[in-house]
Structure 1
Amino acid sequence: MQRNYVEETAVITEELIAEYKSYLYKEEKSRNTVSKYIRDIRAFSAFMDGGLVRKENILAWKEKLQATHSPASINSMLAAVNGFFDWLQLPELKVKPLKIQREIFSKPEKELTRTEYLRLVETAEREHRHRLALLLQTICSTGIRVSELKYITAEAVKTGRAAVDCKGKTRIVLLPSELVRVLGRYCSSQGIGKGMIFCTKNGKPLDRSNIWKEMKYLCERAKVEPDKVFPHNLRHLFAKVYYEMEKDLSKLADLLGHANVATTRIYTMESGVKHVRQLERMGLVFAGKQKPHNDDYVVNNRKRRN
């Protein structure tokens, strides 16, 4: 049905996008994923401006994006549009992603350190934002996603285990004993006997943007660069600390809920500071006056003998 629709009109309409959105939800895609896909498809639709859908138009959009977006963002947008064309049974309209060389170092200006994380927690406690301090520690000590906070319940605290369901897959997240202790004390003080611990007054899961705003509030007071402070960076810090201790990517992938170890590698990238220190310890750069080259040494000796 979708194929005939496009062949007859060759135009992406809001009705067609709405149908695809409904399909994504039936496929049990997360709300954030669906929103992202639909936003990217609408961006392409706006570029088309009601024009006919042709392969050359998609290639032109891809080229235009290269002037304003990073390669990773472009590939993400292309993946969304390609998925849309798959659903329409029009694979011939799909375009190839950009080739990106895998980065081996993370950006130091984006890397949240353990010391900075501790300052954020201490600042939250000092500012009497106890729930925020616990939220930071919960994400960072378990490695869960922000969207998985809703599975941290009073019942989970009692058992020390949270059953987390993400993208149709369930995994068990173990809660450290110290986290169980502080969360249990918080539940008692707030009268939380069952259900979610981190939720709004209406009992809904905390929104990602609200958590981000609260974290940004701490930046200046904790003397931490704002670019380093966002919820997902706490998950990255968990991954780096775990990997430094265990050096086990497969186990870390299980803990993070990754289906592919390649994704986990991204979480364990370092800024390169340690690598530079290791290069310096090799001592292959000679400070001060360099020793003469062997050929120069031979020539000079001959001159002295003559």
Structure 2
Amino acid sequence: MSNDTVYIDRFLEMMAAEGGASQNTLSAYRSDLEQASSFAKGKLADSDRDALQNAASAWSDLKNNSVSRKSSSLRRFFGFLVEEGFRQDDPSDALPRPGGQRSLPRVLSHDEIARLFETIETRLASQQIKPNDARLSALIELLYGSGLRASELVSLPRKSVMVDRPFLIIRGKGGKERLVPISDRARSAVKRWSDFVDADEKYLFPSRTGHISRIRLFQIIKDLAVKSDISPAKISPHVLRHAFATHLLEGGADLRALQTLLGHSDISTTQIYTHVDSARLVELVNNRHPLSRRNLTR
């Protein structure tokens, strides 16, 4: 079994669980990726920009819609590889874009985030807190408050959050480590949940076979969305991670800081996952540009 086969299977599992992709969509992704892998002699995941450009040259006789779909499949695939730490760079910007610019990722508004936490706070207000509610609080605080990847979150060691330490040490794929700040309220939520976890457990969010799966995390978040009167189609672990980055950017964080927090090796990846609305960009130009403070009407 080639590495491509493993990576493609994991990618499709992610698209089914976190993206809610239909069976037809998954079949289309698999077809596009397996064709590209065959062209790359089973080394698609290791392809560089030149290799992808060569692969795209075989699409010259296809209609724009087909080229756009294939490019989109490969971009998502390489975005997944970078996001999960399987490679350091994303060469997919070398692919053609016949359909125009890439659409912005989904993101939740501040109001929608507030509704999620209101639902959690209502559950925690009961005299006897249920274990599942304590776990839910810890999961969401870490996802939105620290921008963890789903895979990083579910596999956190039980002792990874310390009462006297305002950060996590996250070890990604390939042994790469990064420091992730953790808020006081997130530490409090984790402490509350830890009281329900046996001291001998290896993971902070254990299951019968190890730790909870990404699919289970996805289901938990979808259920929270429904109870918060938010369309479950709008939310996933990655959407909360993206909301973390976007809302920090809106609050004044710079891309380099976000790159560090998100664990991106390439700043271009950070630019894809963080965006601001056009109204804020206009406000920045009008209020922050040096010429905005000069009277040019004299």
Name the TM tier (shorter chain). 0.5 to 0.7
Distance of aligned partners of 1:245 and 1:71 in 2 relative to their CA distance in 1, 3 Å threshold: farther
Q: CA RMSD in A?
A: 4.3
C-alpha deviations, 1:153-204, integer Å up to 9, x for none?
Answer: 3322225343222231111223222211221122123334653212323323
- Per the alignment, residue 48 of structure 2 pairs with none
TM-aligned CA deviation for residue 67 of structure 1: 3.8
TM-score by length of 2: 0.62
- Per the alignment, residue 135 of structure 1 pairs with 139
Q: How far apart in 2 are the matches of 1:213 and 1:115? A: 22
1:152 aligns with 2:146: no
1:184 aligns with 2:191: yes
Say whether the 8 Å CA contact 1:30–1:167 is kept in structure 2: no
Q: How far apart in 1 are the matches of 2:96 and 2:182? A: 40
Secondary structure at the aligned position of 2:139 is classed as helix
Secondary structure at the aligned position of 2:276 is classed as coil
- Per the alignment, residue 32 of structure 1 pairs with 10
2:272 pairs, out of 251, 266, 275, with 266
Say whether the 8 Å CA contact 2:33–2:73 is kept in structure 1: no
Say which structure, 1 or 2, has more relative contact order (CA 8 Å, 6+ apart).
2
Q: How far apart in 2 are the matches of 1:232 and 1:175? A: 18
- Per the alignment, residue 203 of structure 2 pairs with 196
Say whether the 8 Å CA contact 1:151–1:163 is kept in structure 2: no
- Per the alignment, residue 287 of structure 1 pairs with none
Q: How far apart in 2 are the matches of 1:165 and 1:266? A: 23
Secondary structure at the aligned position of 1:164 is classed as strand
Q: How far apart in 1 are the matches of 2:29 and 2:279? A: 40
2:110 pairs, out of 103, 110, 114, with 114
Identity of aligned residues (%): 23
TM-aligned CA deviation for residue 146 of structure 1: 0.4
Distance of aligned partners of 1:106 and 1:56 in 2 relative to their CA distance in 1, 3 Å threshold: closer
Q: Which runs of 5+ in 1 are unaligned?
A: 1-17, 81-95, 282-306
2:96 pairs, out of 95, 98, 106, with 98
TM-score by length of 1: 0.60
1:227 aligns with 2:233: yes
C-alpha deviations, 1:23-75, integer Å up to 9, x for none?
Answer: x7xxxx79835978xx8896259779x9xx9x999835983793496465244
Say whether the 8 Å CA contact 1:40–1:77 is kept in structure 2: no
Secondary structure at the aligned position of 1:132 is classed as helix
2:215 pairs, out of 209, 216, 225, with 209
Q: How far apart in 1 are the matches of 2:55 and 2:153? A: 44
Between the two proteins, the alignment pairs up a number of residues equal to: 235
Q: How far apart in 1 are the matches of 2:107 and 2:145? A: 17
Q: Which runs of 5+ in 2 are unaligned?
A: 15-26, 42-53, 80-93, 124-129, 288-298
Greater Rg over alpha carbons, structure: 1
1:43 aligns with 2:41: no
Secondary structure at the aligned position of 1:264 is classed as helix
